[in-house]
Amino acid sequence: MKPIINHRGPEFRDLYRGLIEKVKFVFQTKGDVFILSSSGTGAVECAIGNITSTGTKILVPTYGVFSKRLHDSVATFGGKAIEIPVEWGDAPTSHQIEEALQREKDIAAVAIVSNETSTGVRVKDLEVIGKICADYGSLLIVDAISNLGGDYLPVDEWGIDICATGVQKCLMTPPGLALVSISEKAWDKIKETRRSCYFDLQAYKRYQAELETPYTPALNLYYALNEALDMIREEGLERRFKRHKVCANAIYAGIESMGLIGFAKPEVRSNTVIAVKNPAGIADKELRDILREKYRIIIAGGMGKLKGSTFRIGSMGSVSRFEVLATISALEYTLLELGWASDLGTGLEAAGRILAQLG
Ligand SMILES: Cc1ncc(COP(=O)(O)O)c(C=O)c1O
């Protein structure tokens, strides 16, 4: 609703200066950060495109739709993706990464999705993976689209060289902006790489010195992001991460006590996306239709090879006890209506007990 301002004028510079500082706070980095006018995929493409030349070797663990997409994007820039296939529902480990780095030579980067949205799985030892990448002289690129701002993910402390995210998930902003952070080590590689036009990070850096962007920014979304980042600062990162974890745990407890089964292995399950196996004999489309039409609760279906066998509950951004309890309760009523469940309240009680940790 705010007026459009000149994106090469003083008001924009004030907005942009503040935004850069707030984005650095959320990424927990002192390195460079850039705001791209694109969805999250733009930030991932920017990360890969700015470090990949013909034959550049990039190691990519694949454990779902988005990590597979990350893997495939390497070839778009003439790079050579080396895949570490991981069973869906499980997460790649630092051990697997180290083994591959030992086996393969000249790996320029390890590119990894930190939270696989399609399977509801989170990589648990990213910090160790960061140390291993540093030891082997490889860059660490992270697609943190579905958990940056929801999970503890300190970019500098964990040695993440390029971290990419979208604003529409844990950062509570309407879709259309993506964010990337760049370490000093990553700049060395970027400088020697032929790069794309729209996502040319060197141009972004040059323009940022004048508090401008190379191309017209999605200004209205900058206002929205600014507000969301202020809300995040007011809440505080630690409280925010705890809220995400408690809400996710409450959903897991709720569904399990109803007799449903999570898709991810318990030790690697996500704090922001809860993937659930379809109850026997129930099509998730039918379940999701009732939830949407009768209870105004929208959950997602399965993706890729999990389409039709799982559904997914987003638990991120401004998620609170209200959304958790409403979702679990509506799920109970829906499963009763579909004839799968025979009682009400067990899921709600289990979720409620966990939510008490929010204080
Ligand atoms: C892990 C991950 N990577 C990439 C994407 C693609 O992001 P976008 O749809 O914003 O381009 C998503 C979207 O859900 C995602 O969850």
Convert the pLDDT of each residue in 44-99 to its tens digit.
Answer: 999 999 999 999 999 999 999 999 999 999 999 999 999 999 999 999 999 999 99
DSSP for 75-142 reads HHTT-EEEEEE--BTB---HHHHHHHHHHSS-EEEEEEESEETTTTEE-S-HHHHHHHHHHHT-EEEE
Q: Which two tokens mark 304? A: 């890729």
Helices and strands, counts by H and E, the chain: 12, 12
pLDDT for residue 142: 99
Ligand 1 center from residue 211 Cα (angstroms): 28
Model pLDDT for residues 5-38, shown as the tens digit of each residue: 999 999 999 999 999 999 999 999 999 999 999 9
Report long-range pairs for 208-216 (Cβ below 8 Å, ≥24 apart). Answer: 208/20, 208/32, 208/34, 211/12, 211/13, 211/16, 211/17, 212/7, 212/8, 212/12, 212/13, 212/16, 213/7, 213/16, 213/35, 213/37, 215/37, 216/7, 216/37
Instruction: Look up the pTM and report it.
Output: 0.98
pLDDT, position 69: 98
User: Which burial class, exposed, middle or buried, applies to 259 when counting CB atoms under 10 A from its CB (0-12, 13-18, 19+)?
Assistant: middle
How close is the Cα of 72 to the center of ligand 1, in Å?
Answer: 14
Pocket (CB within 6 angstroms of ligand 1):
39-41, 44, 66, 113, 117, 143, 145-146, 166
Q: Classify residue 148 by its DSSP letter.
A: B
Instruction: Note the pLDDT of residue 70.
Output: 98
- CA 113 to ligand 1: nearest atom: 1
> Of all residues in the chain, what percent carry a pLDDT higher than 70?
100
Q: For a pocket test of ligand 1, which of 145, 168, 199, 225 has the largest count of ligand atoms closer than 8 A to its C-beta? A: 145
The string over 240-254, giving b where at least 16 C-beta atoms fall within 10 Å of a residue's C-beta and e elsewhere, is: bbbbbbbbbbbbbbb
pLDDT digits (tens, 9 = 90+) for 299-335: 999 999 999 999 999 999 999 999 999 999 999 999 9
Residue 286 neighbours by CB distance under 10 Å? 13
Q: Tell me the β-bridge partners of 113.
A: 143
Compute CA distances 194 → 83, 189, 202, 215, whole Å. 24, 10, 11, 19
Choose which residue among 36, 38, 41 to substitute to test ligand 1 binding: the one with the highest number of ligand atoms within 8 A of its C-beta: 41
pLDDT value of residue 147:
98
Structure tokens at 183: 């370490």
CB neighbours (10 Å) of residue 105?
7
* Gap between the Cα atoms of 108 and 162, Å rounded: 13
User: DSSP character for 62?
Assistant: E
